[in-house]
Chain A
Amino acid sequence: MNKISIIISREFTTRVRKKSFLIVTIFVPILFAIFYLFLMWMLFKEDNQKRTIAVINESTLEKPIEQINNTNFVYLEQDVNESEYATFLKEHNYYAITRIPQSVMQHAEVYMYSLAPIPLELKNEITIQVQRQVEEKKRSDIIAQSNIPDLDKKLRATRTPVLVRTLVVSESGDSKESSSEITSLFGLVGGLIIYIFIFMYSSQVMKGVVEEKTNRIIEVLVSSVKPFQFLLGKIIGVAAVGLLQFLIWIGVGAIIITVSKLVLLPGVDLAALRGATDLTPVQGINMQPEQLAIVQYVVKTIEPSFILEFMGAFLFYFIGGYLLYASLFAAIGAAVDSETDTQQFMTPLSIILIVSLYIGISAMKNPESSLVFWSSLIPFTSPVVMLTRIPFGIPTWEIILSMVLLVLAFLFFTWLSGKIYRVGILMYGKKVTWKELYKWLKYKG
């Protein structure tokens, strides 16, 4: 036992002291943050281009379209012949011509002529504005015709912004709020990190095994400890490096969340906000109910119990998946004579891992498809796929079954790999085939 701890400590300290550890620890979160910000920017980026759009208003509506972000609208006095639109646009440097026909009140159609395709956002904005104007006009006509007092006010009061809350129910009668966008993002990021972790740390184990075999230190080592003990020490030591890295990220993440809460929502009782059903302004926040609803929504998705559950699942699937793959990678490392020879045996495992990532991504769209369901139970794909599924709230028995299968699989494959490892590390200069590996399983230790 004591010898294993000596091995673990060497495997751990030599890796943690490496520059690459520091680099990965710092840059992976930064990359993720950049990626996240980039996504947000793409989604919400303001249309900064300055444009002027000419409007030919043939309707009775008065200036139905007003400035949208940086786009100005100029209402033309004179008509322009449709066949001359192109030359007109170029001549006056207009971005587009919008023609609101006389019949707009009957057939709600508006025409836009431009030299280049119109951005979707701009088109939507124009749609909304014209629609609102037309509706307003129709409504005020009805109001004028009727004699109901304060109808205008009363109608205005009927306007209701709707927030769709999605809930997942289970047979035990609980219902959990699932906020699909953010939670599915959680699942995806978790799945991606687990995929990277398994790959990165399993290959580190393999590299270590190949190094010890090629520089021939292994024979000295196994004259002091049993090969299986040594392998175990190495696998655990490398896992500890991964866990340390993960803990650093969690710690930094927790600090960032706490700080941003203090800066962005000072004095808000998040627990109270999370449970609040009535969103009349909570004390201490100066916010509209709609805005507050969004804040509540975000706060709910980072509910501590969910985070803890997710972290727990992450740790379990990281360790389980890593143990499974690391032991197999170690067997590969032991079987070959140099790192370049590992490819032949690595390919099937890499393909399975990559496929599991793709299935995990598809789980975001449909976490209940049969492909996703089965691959979240099968040990080789379950670490990545199950993690992407968990945020959607799935039956406990599925998670337990998947975990039990994973444990059984890594016990079996660690045992199997141990046998190959034991023989492989002492076999030099032999071109190894699958058949050969099978023979090794039968050698006596």
Chain B
Amino acid sequence: MSFFKALHIVKRYANHTALDDVSIEIPEGSIYGLLGPNGAGKTSLIRIINQITAPDSGELIFHSRPLQRADVNRIGYLPEERGLYKKMKVGEQAVYLARLKGLSKQDAVARLKMWFEKFEISSWWNRKVEELSKGMAQKVQFITTVLHEPELLIFDEPFSGFDPINVELLKREIWELRQKGTTIIFSTHNMSSVEEICSHIALINKSHKIIEGPINQIREKYANNTYQLSCRYNPQFKAEEFIGDEFKILSQRIEDNRHDIILQQTNYCPANTLLSRIMPAVDIISYQKIIPSMNDIFIRLVQEQ
């Protein structure tokens, strides 16, 4: 049973179509990466999930029933373009935002005190937002996003503008939330953080969904049977004499007293067989299957389109 589904979503604006028949399925407890270049339609989709705008057609299913207005209280959203009222006091503002998500004033204050202590910003409660540094404001924004303990959290480019320390803090908190069972949608075009964090991804380009699934399966799928072999340098060693018929050398270089050889497997051959052929001739350092990075897959898919 899936947690959240968007089915056949279409959103048109005057001069372009932002989303053209896009469907995604978000498993419960996943960290779901929504990837795509700028202008692909990610933000449009996120706004539709948040019920900020309505799709021209398509369905949204939350817990196996159509998404309802009241569900906004069960969703938390940290937009890419985010801000706070500059002239308002930090605590007061956080309470206001929490109450708009359906928390009572008492609950909001109690939970905020806890979070403020955790993030070591308690002393900022009565300061105005304009006095805060950008990093401080970001912490406050993060807290107000998660305060009402939503079942579904949506982060749009969460790490943009965060300093490295806050990025680490944020990653830790995201992991912690996931441990508690929160499902997280994570929109970004920063691929290294995707590999680190996401369990599932969908790639959107030019208003269409190109691919969707668990991140490991996708990477596996795009791995085209290439392997990297590294051996201690030996001037007599000729790789082509030992690899057999099942392999083809794609590239070979000698560096740092080491051979780095990229092999393409054309017919199946167990790793042990290959290694036993080479072992007498040279000192093996490592042998591994090359799994493409999300970045490679992303670029490849976007360019193919």
Contact = CB atoms under 8 A, between A and B. Distances in A.
Interface of A: 3, 6-7, 10, 14, 211-212, 215-217, 219-227, 422, 426, 428, 439, 442-445
Contact of A217 (B54, B84, B101): B84
Contact of A224 (B78, B84, B100): B100
Interface residues of B, number: 33
B24 to A, nearest CB: 18
Contact of A219 (B13, B75, B79, B87): B79
B96 interface: yes
B188 interface: no
B20 to A, nearest CB: 15
Contact of B83 (A216, A223, A444): A216
A443 B13 contact: yes
Given A216-B79, A217-B83, A428-B81, A444 B56 contact: yes
A222 B86 contact: no
Chain A CB within 10 Å, residue with most, of B13, B54, B99: B99
Interface of B: 13-14, 47, 50-56, 69, 72-73, 75, 77-79, 81-88, 96-97, 99-101, 141, 144-145
Contacts of B100: 3, 6-7, 221, 224-225
Contacts of B77: 219-220, 223
Nearest to A225: B100
Contact of A6 (B50, B85, B99, B144): B99
A216 B72 contact: no
Q: What are the 7 A-B residue pairs with the smallest beta carbon separation, nearest first?
A: A216-B83, A215-B83, A224-B100, A219-B79, A223-B77, A216-B81, A439-B14
Contacts of B79: 216, 219-220, 223
Contact of B81 (A6, A219, A443): A219
26 contacts: A3-B100, A7-B100, A10-B96, A14-B85, A14-B87, A212-B85, A215-B83, A216-B79, A216-B83, A217-B82, A217-B85, A219-B82, A220-B77, A220-B141, A221-B100, A223-B50, A223-B72, A223-B79, A224-B72, A225-B72, A225-B100, A227-B52, A426-B52, A442-B14, A444-B54, A445-B54
Contacts of B51: 223
A144 B40 CA distance: 112
A221 B86 CA distance: 15
A426 B86 contact: no
Contacts of A6: 96, 99-100
A283 to B, nearest CB: 60
A219 B84 contact: no
Contacts of B85: 14, 211-212, 215, 217
Contacts of A222: 52
A237 to B, nearest CB: 12
Nearest to A14: B88
A415 to B, nearest CB: 17
Contacts of A225: 72, 100
Contacts of B144: 220
A150 B141 CA distance: 98
Nearest to A435: B14
A442 to B, nearest CB: 8
A336 B73 CA distance: 30
Given A224-B100, A225-B100, A426-B47, 14 more contacts: A14-B85, A212-B85, A220-B79, A220-B141, A220-B144, A223-B50, A223-B51, A223-B52, A223-B79, A227-B52, A422-B53, A428-B81, A444-B54, A444-B56
A401 to B, nearest CB: 38
A439 B14 CA distance: 7
A223 B97 CA distance: 10
Contacts of B73: 224
A35 B199 CA distance: 72
Nearest to B72: A224
A443 B15 CA distance: 12
Contacts of B83: 215-217, 220
Chain B CB within 10 Å, residue with most, of A14, A215, A219, A225: A219
A224 B87 CA distance: 21
Contacts of A7: 100
B149 to A, nearest CB: 15
Contacts of A426: 47, 52-53
Contacts of A445: 53-54
Chain B CB within 10 Å, residue with most, of A220, A226, A422, A426: A220
Contacts of B78: 220
Contacts of B96: 6, 10
A216 B82 contact: yes
Chain A CB within 10 Å, residue with most, of B69, B75, B101: B101
A211 B75 CA distance: 25
A93 to B, nearest CB: 65
A404 to B, nearest CB: 33
Contacts of A422: 53
Nearest to B154: A223
Contacts of A217: 82-85
Nearest to B99: A6
Contacts of A10: 96
A221 B13 CA distance: 23
Nearest to B57: A444
Contacts of A224: 72-73, 97, 100-101
A6 B141 CA distance: 19
Contact of B97 (A220, A226, A442, A443): A220
A214 B255 CA distance: 53
A214 to B, nearest CB: 8
A10 B85 CA distance: 11
A215 B86 CA distance: 8
